[in-house]
Structure 1
Amino acid sequence: MYDRILVPTDGSDPATAAIKEAIELAAQNDAELHALYVVEPIPLGGFSAGAEPASAEWSDVVEKQRDEGNAATAEIAELAREHDLEVVEAIEHGKPNVQILEYADEHDIDAIVMGTHGRSGADRLVLGSVTEKVVRKSEVPVLTVRMG
């Protein structure tokens, strides 16, 4: 039913429940798992740190975000490989909801599994804004997973 499953992560603790669910779903379907981290541009006055390509002033900020992304996707890959799953790790730059949807389209993703809240979950009362936008605009099923 599902050949390619996407699990976007921001490296936060709330993402852990979604990662576990995505791995279980991929194992049940013998599916390829795609772990995606999006480096989001941070507006700083007239500049935007995290945009690709980054200016020299912001290269350290972007590099730190990429390092976080590499660590987050590597953790997913390690957990998934314990279940003998094929894993594709990816880091994209841009608005998370846009990049998640574009990635899903470009890689023929069959389902997206994501947490209801991410890093800034405390100020997102009902559903994380990134998750909400993905749910509303996705052309493939989106499984949302609550933390805890």
Structure 2
Amino acid sequence: MSNSAGGFSRIAVGIDFSSSSLHALDVARTRFPEAELRLLHAVDVRVTASPDVMGGLTPMSYDPALLDTIEQGDAQQLTALVREGESYEQLVGDPVTSLLDAAQAWGADLLIVGTHARGPLEHLFLGSTAEKLVARSPVPVLTVRQPNPEPSTGGMR
């Protein structure tokens, strides 16, 4: 399975259209130019929940028509990202499980994902998709953090 791309010939890249995932795609293209790339995007259709007044969670279901609209819009964005020689797959479900299953089924020998800068409270409750991928993946995972922009010298943010 090795080639001149540093030992990785089939690289899956997790895409959620965030700037960090687009940076991860750029890293995959520039650092592994000879590798075959497959862009993987998961539409998360898990039932969401919102806090209720008693401190519990109330399930909220999704609208199938809304899901169709989201899937179509995401598919258009995904096809716009794909370059000649690359492939893509749009998945539906939990992003961690979907990405891992798709990467394995395709025979990826590396999965590349971007990491998001999140606050500590958000991280505590939501966790990190990248961390969960690293913990559960039988395929090596390269996490890529987007470089911070240069600090501004004038004025407050």
TM-score normalised per structure 1: 0.75
Identify the residue that residue 26 of structure 1 maps to in structure 2.
Answer: 32
CA distance in 1, matches of 2:46, 2:73: 15
**Identity of matched residues, %:** 28
Give deviations 1:85-142, integer Å, cap 9, x for gaps.
x211111111000001101111110101101128xx45337x9611111011111211
2:12 to 6, 15, 33: 6
Mark the CA change 1:134 to 1:92 in structure 2 (over 3 Å): closer, same or farther.
same
Runs of 4+, deviation exceeding 3 Å: 44-48
Question: Quick check: 2:46–2:93 contact (8 Å CA) kept in 1?
Answer: no
2:82 to 51, 73, 77: 77
Mark the CA change 1:25 to 1:67 in structure 2 (over 3 Å): closer, same or farther.
farther
**AA matched with 2:137:** S
Identify the residue that residue 111 of structure 2 maps to in structure 1.
Answer: 112
**AA matched with 1:94:** G
The secondary structure found in structure 2 opposite 1:124 is: helix
More helix by share: 1
Identify the residue that residue 71 of structure 2 maps to in structure 1.
Answer: 66
CA distance in 1, matches of 2:32, 2:127: 23
Mark the CA change 1:18 to 1:64 in structure 2 (over 3 Å): closer, same or farther.
same
**AA matched with 1:36:** L
Give deviations 1:22-64, integer Å, cap 9, x for gaps.
112331xx22111111010142555643xxxxxxxx2321122
The secondary structure found in structure 2 opposite 1:60 is: helix
Structure 1 unaligned residues grouped into runs of 5+: 50-57
CA distance in 1, matches of 2:98, 2:87: 16
CA distance in 2, matches of 1:10, 1:68: 12
In our comparison, the structure showing a higher alpha carbon Rg is: 2
The secondary structure found in structure 1 opposite 2:23 is: helix
Question: Quick check: 1:111–1:141 contact (8 Å CA) kept in 2?
Answer: yes
CA distance in 1, matches of 2:76, 2:29: 17
Larger relative contact order (C-alpha < 8 A, sep ≥ 6)?
A: 1
Aligned pairs, number: 129
Question: Quick check: 2:11–2:108 contact (8 Å CA) kept in 1?
Answer: yes
Mark the CA change 1:67 to 1:19 in structure 2 (over 3 Å): closer, same or farther.
same
